[in-house]
Structure formats: structure tokens, C-alpha cells
Structure 1
Amino acid sequence: MNRLISLATLVTLAGVVTIAQARDLGPDEAKRLQDAGTIKSFEQLDEAILAQHPGARIEETELEDEYGRYIYQVDLRDAQGQQWDLELDASTGEILKNHQDD
């Protein structure tokens, strides 16, 4: 019984740690990271996104700290009206995800 309780505790703690690893960053923290050169400017990141989808319109953006990596998440609508989800490494501008919403 103790082993079962310990396993359940570990699973619960692992879930809490996973949740705690990803967090949204507010505008003040994002500005501080940009000013320090830790992440690229949102203008640079947006240019990289729009280069992948010319004529698209960015609808929503979010900056997250995921496991010590800054991720810029973007929802956009392309010229044909299709919705896309993109993720970029905010420090390098590398596109990590670029897929069409269903």
C-alpha cells in the first residue's frame, strides 16, 4: 500500500513540475528580455513568421518560458483564410512549429 501511495505521489509531483515549467511572460518581462538581447524583437520574429506566410495576418501572440527556452507562439490567418499555429525560438528566431489548424 505504501508503495502505491508513493507512486501516486510521484505522478502527482511530476505533473506539478511539468505545469510549473511553462509560464506566460508579461510585457514588462518581455521588454526586459528584448533590451538585454536575450530574445529577438517581436518585429524580427513577426517578420520571420510572415516570410513563411506572405499576406497573412497575425491574430494573437504569446511569449512563454518553456523549460528554460523562450517560445514565441503565434496564431495567424493566411491570405486564403486558413488558420495557422506557429512557434519560434524567441532567442534564435528558429521556427519550431508551423502547422495549419483543423
Structure 2
Amino acid sequence: MNILTAVFAATALAVTAGYAQAKDLGPDEALKLRDAGTIQSFEKLNAAALAKHPNATVTDTELEQEYGKYVYQVELRDAKGVEWDVELDAVSGQVLKDHQDT
């Protein structure tokens, strides 16, 4: 029983450690980073996401710090009603992920 408990505890720690690597940044902190020139403007980042899905609309955005990088997440809805999640490097503007929301 002790081995099973240890395995369960180790698994739980590994799972929660992954979640601890991503930190949501609030609007005030995001604006400070933008104003300091640390990250690109939100307009520029939104435009990069919209370039992947022309005629879509932005439904939500979020800035996170993941593994020491600033990641800007944009949720889009295209003209057909399909939802997309686009993640960008907030410093460079490079698209990191672009996938259909399921």
C-alpha cells in the first residue's frame, strides 16, 4: 500500500508542477510589459492571429508567462462559426500554435 501511495503522490506532484509553470498575468501587469516594450502591442499581436484566420473576430485574449516566456493567447471565431486558439510569443509575435478549439 505504501508503494501505491508514493506512486499516486508522485503523479499528483508531476501533474500540478506542469500547471504551476503557467501564470496568468493581469491587465495591469500586461500593460506595464507593453509600455516597457518588453512585449509587442496587443493590436500587433491580434493582427498576427487574425492574419492566420482572415475575417475572424477576436473573442478573448490572455497573456501568460509559461516557462519564462510571455505567451499571448487569442481565441477567434471565423465566419463559419469555427473557434480557433492561436498562441503567440508576445515578445517576437511569432505564432507558436494555431489549432481549432474542440
* Band of TM-score, shorter chain: 0.7 to 0.9
* 2:61 equivalent in structure 1: 61
* 1:86 equivalent in structure 2: 86
Shift of 1:18: 2.2
Shift of 1:55: 1.0
Shift of 1:14: 3.3
User: Matched residue of 1:98: which SS?
Assistant: strand
Q: 5+ unaligned residues in a row in structure 2: which ranges? A: none
Q: For 1:51, give the aligned amino acid.
A: A
Q: For 1:61, give the aligned amino acid.
A: T
**Number of residue-to-residue matches in the alignment:** 102
Query: Which aligned pairs between 1:30-69 and structure 2 lie closer than 5 A?
Result: 30-69=30-69
User: Matched residue of 1:29: which SS?
Assistant: helix
Describe the superposition over 1:5-60 as per-residue Cα deviations: whole angstroms up to 9, x where unpaired. Answer: 66655444433432221110000110111111111110010111111111110001
User: Matched residue of 2:81: which SS?
Assistant: coil
> Could you state the TM-score of these two structures normalised by the residue count of structure 2?
0.84
Whole-Å separation in 1 of the counterparts to 2:5 and 2:41 = 47
> Could you state the TM-score of these two structures normalised by the residue count of structure 1?
0.84
> Structure 1 residues 2, 48: CA separation in 2 closer, same or farther (over 3 Å shift)?
same
Whole-Å separation in 2 of the counterparts to 1:63 and 1:24 = 6
Q: 5+ unaligned residues in a row in structure 1: which ranges? A: none
